[in-house]
Structure 1
Amino acid sequence: MSTNPKPDLAVRTDTDPEDSLSARVENRLSAMPPAERRVAEYLRDHAQSVIFATAEEIGQAVGTSDATVVRTSKNLGYSGLPDLKRSIGQHMIHGTRPSVRLNQRIDGAGQETASLLDHVFSEAGERLTETLRLMPQDQFVRAVDILAGAREAVAFGMGLAELPARFLSMKLSRLGRPARLVGAAGFLLADGLLGLREQDAVVLYAPARRTREIDVVLDHAQSVGAQTILITDSLGSVLSGRVTVVLPAVHSATGYTAEGFSSLLVTDCLLLGVAAQDRDRATTGSELLRVLRSRLAPEGTDRGPRRRGSATKPTDR
């Protein structure tokens, strides 16, 4: 990262809400010590560069320590530098074209291929650490209980959010739990909601963008009495009154790591919790999966023990 980049003036606008970075700096700058004041002004004036930088790089650019950068972020009302980056990232998502964001990511990571590893893994660690920090343990336990007690789990996600939803439904089935994926948009969504019942659980993967489909799913779940688990980055405060449980899954501030990265890890935690509640059921499902896979193995491979007459020799295609 350059130690003296040009200010990202486009990030500062007269229409910034009161909770924006520039507004926070404006309100708190006079009360800050000199070193933190320099950091705060740098964060405000170089926001698009900051989002791709580490605390150490920011400190070097300002002439102070990485600890001062983290402390300044907290004094601005953020939980830390990752939280500040997420706030800037949300502004970029809504105000910058995707092609521009892609070029910014490439520039931020640098041209050296080896440096990409540091940037991507650094952000991955930040996302997981922040997700764990924000995770309310009592709500997580409640979510596990809801899934373990459901007649059927319905996993909903559209676009890239369909990936963790598909993962959840497949893994629950392997644990012996009835589950299915609903990932359709528009009129086709109605077909996926027809079988929803009061004893069911709906798991919605909705990172940051509220869609009409999300509202329809929540309205229908409420009408039939089904419980709902929302896994999200920023829709928790918007939809908390309409869902049973909200679990955080921190989004990428830079786009270096996949949208569903945090959601998948939260899903892994839920699945382990469900398996632990009924170990016999989970192991039975796992063993059945092994047996079925062995019957599908090509001829000549180790297919494991098989009951006589349980499968016929496949015909040539």
Structure 2
Amino acid sequence: MTTGTSGSPGVLDLPVGSTERLLALLDGRRLSPAQRRIGQFLIDHLGEVVFMSSVDLAERVGVSQPSVTRFAAALGFSGYPALRDALKGIVLGTVGDSPEEARRNEFQAAIAAEQANLEVLHRLVATPDRLIEAGRVLAECDPLVVLGLRLSLPVAQYFTYSAQRVHPDVRLISLAGSSASDALLQAHQAGASWIVAFLMPRYAEEALDVLDYARELGMKVALITDNPLVPFATAADIMLPAGVGSRLVFDSHAAPMVLASLLVQAIADAAPERAQARLEAYEALSEARDYYRS
């Protein structure tokens, strides 16, 4: 790292052509007055901006923090962190000559982040005892309750659909409020002792309410979330973390989806004869009903 001509820390010297590359990012964009102010600040202070958070930049320019986020989106980036990464590349002379290549590198970076999440998951299951134990207790729980609200719902739906093929009674709670309480009470009265909860960022407060009620009923919680240090981790009897990708407009859930599949496998392995019988029955039904095209 170098310092600017002023000699003050936190300011990078700019390579030849850096201003032109930045102007290329701004070229042709329909920007609001506030966004134009941000763009001009970038041009005047590029060597400093790469060290600033969105809050810092907003304060220096005199705009709101959401204005900075919208500015990044107007340039075609998923958010300010992605824009700042591209600006760092400009300052270090490592990005391509066009805005299109900068955004293409952003897509590659998003995939690389997911690969890192999968590598962490790979290390987690290198010692599979916790996953195996989760499969055992969930296989024994009948009925088995699954919780997934808002953006966590697609992962919960995938788990539920798959688990229903190897477990006799899997019930998904996908709505909050009184509907969730009714479903949870009914399942508990039918014998449910565990709830599998998928809670990914942003963590829905209403999902935490469902977990609180499950604990009131005496149920245990198998929690699948992105970070083992989340504040509500104390609600979990079994914690299975899987990181989410946060470099795009919406989080991506590659690792949680893989973990959901692993957990279904663990449930099947815990009761192999039952799982095999149910899978064969489903295959016979799908053939008789022509569910799929060959």
User: Which TM class, normalised by the smaller chain length?
Assistant: 0.5 to 0.7
1:48 aligned partner: 81
Question: What is the SS of the residue equivalent to 2:167?
Answer: coil
TM-score by length of 1: 0.58
Superposition pairs of residues 27-66 of structure 1, within 5 angstroms? 48-49=81-82
Identity of aligned residues (%): 20
1:210, 1:117 → 2: CA distance? 25
| Offset from partner CA, 1:156-200 (integer Å, 9 cap, x none) | 111221111111111111013310111002332223222132643
1:237 aligned partner: 230
Question: CA separation of 1:128/1:286 partners in 2, compared to 1, >3 Å: closer, same or farther?
Answer: same
1:188, 1:109 → 2: CA distance? 48
Report the residue type matching 1:164 in the other structure.
Answer: V
Superposition pairs of residues 166-245 of structure 1, within 5 angstroms? 166-197=157-188, 199-234=192-227, 236-245=229-238
2:266, 2:111 → 1: CA distance? 27
Deviation, structure 1 residue 61: 5.9
| Offset from partner CA, 1:38-82 (integer Å, 9 cap, x none) | xxxxxxxxx8248757xxx97996599xxxxxxxxxxxxxxxxxx
2:153 aligned partner: 162
Question: CA separation of 1:283/1:165 partners in 2, compared to 1, >3 Å: closer, same or farther?
Answer: same
For this pair of structures, how many residues does the alignment match?
A: 220
Question: CA separation of 1:185/1:163 partners in 2, compared to 1, >3 Å: closer, same or farther?
Answer: same
- Tell me if 1:287 matches 2:277: no
2:108 counterpart (112, 118, 123): 118
2:194, 2:272 → 1: CA distance? 20
1:241, 1:221 → 2: CA distance? 14
2:258, 2:275 → 1: CA distance? 19
Deviation, structure 1 residue 134: 5.4
Question: What is the SS of the residue equivalent to 2:262?
Answer: helix
The 8 Å contact of residues 149 and 204 in structure 2, kept in 1 or not, is answered as no
The 8 Å contact of residues 202 and 227 in structure 1, kept in 2 or not, is answered as yes
1:187, 1:124 → 2: CA distance? 36
Question: CA separation of 1:236/1:193 partners in 2, compared to 1, >3 Å: closer, same or farther?
Answer: farther
> Which structure exhibits the higher relative contact order, with contacts defined as CA atoms closer than 8 Å and separated by 6 or more residues?
2
Report the residue type matching 2:102 in the other structure.
Answer: G
The 8 Å contact of residues 145 and 192 in structure 2, kept in 1 or not, is answered as no
Deviation, structure 1 residue 225: 1.9
The 8 Å contact of residues 157 and 204 in structure 1, kept in 2 or not, is answered as yes
Question: What is the SS of the residue equivalent to 2:239?
Answer: strand
| Offset from partner CA, 1:218-273 (integer Å, 9 cap, x none) | 12221222211111114743112222111111011202785332211101111111
The 8 Å contact of residues 206 and 235 in structure 1, kept in 2 or not, is answered as no
1:61, 1:295 → 2: CA distance? 63
1:278 aligned partner: 271
Question: CA separation of 1:108/1:232 partners in 2, compared to 1, >3 Å: closer, same or farther?
Answer: farther
Question: What is the SS of the residue equivalent to 1:155?
Answer: strand
TM-score by length of 2: 0.62
Question: CA separation of 1:295/1:166 partners in 2, compared to 1, >3 Å: closer, same or farther?
Answer: same
Question: CA separation of 1:208/1:120 partners in 2, compared to 1, >3 Å: closer, same or farther?
Answer: closer
Report the residue type matching 2:213 in the other structure.
Answer: H
2:171, 2:243 → 1: CA distance? 25
Question: CA separation of 1:189/1:118 partners in 2, compared to 1, >3 Å: closer, same or farther?
Answer: same
The 8 Å contact of residues 145 and 172 in structure 2, kept in 1 or not, is answered as yes
Question: CA separation of 1:125/1:52 partners in 2, compared to 1, >3 Å: closer, same or farther?
Answer: farther
Deviation, structure 1 residue 111: 5.0
The 8 Å contact of residues 143 and 169 in structure 2, kept in 1 or not, is answered as yes
Deviation, structure 1 residue 124: 2.4
Deviation, structure 1 residue 210: 3.4
